[in-house]
Amino acid sequence: MADIKSPEARSLNMSKIRSKDTKPEKWLRKRLFERGYRYRKNANNIPGHPDAWLAKYNTAIFVHGCFWHRHCGCKYAYMPKSRVDFWQDKFQQNTERDQKVRKELLARGTKMLIVWECTVKKMMRQDEYSDEVIDKIEDFLRSGEKFREI
């Protein structure tokens, strides 16, 4: 009887944890800052409240957790074995919300970059590659593209 919370209550807790500053988010923002980029955190006037809002580049950066945002083909985007219906609903809501945000951003001419958490985690593990993710971000900022995920 160590855990008396229902699965719903537990996942509600998890969804709250999700919206806080995660380690990969902090790590990525630190790297951006070191490269001279200035951003706003969780800008509430921008659709989806991006993790980093680069006003100068009209670019919204989101660090997406692979599990919650269903990173396609990623090992972290597994399906829990129990309460499959509950999770499927939850994931569908998340995915629909993400698509809505993407449409809103593109409609206002804002560039949107999704950085998957597994990409950041890989960079965090291999410190000598830590610039690689920032190089990719810079490449996107310079490009004429409106949307990219890395």
Q: Tell whether residue 123 is a contact of Zn ion (CB under 5 A).
A: no
Residues 113, 148: contact at Cβ < 8 Å?
Answer: yes
115 is an interface residue for Zn ion by CB under 5 A? no
Which position among 40, 58, 70, 74 is part of the footprint of Zn ion (CB under 5 A)? 74
Q: For Zn ion, give the closer residue by CB, 112 or 120.
A: 120
Q: Report the nearest approach of Zn ion to the CB of residue 118 (Å).
A: 3
- Contact (Cβ atoms closer than 8 angstroms) between residue 21 and residue 42: no
Q: Does 116 bind Zn ion (CB under 5 A)?
A: yes
Write out the H or E segment, with its range, that includes residue 111: strand 111-116
Judged by the rule CB under 5 A, the positions of this chain that interact with Zn ion are: 66, 71, 74, 76, 116, 118
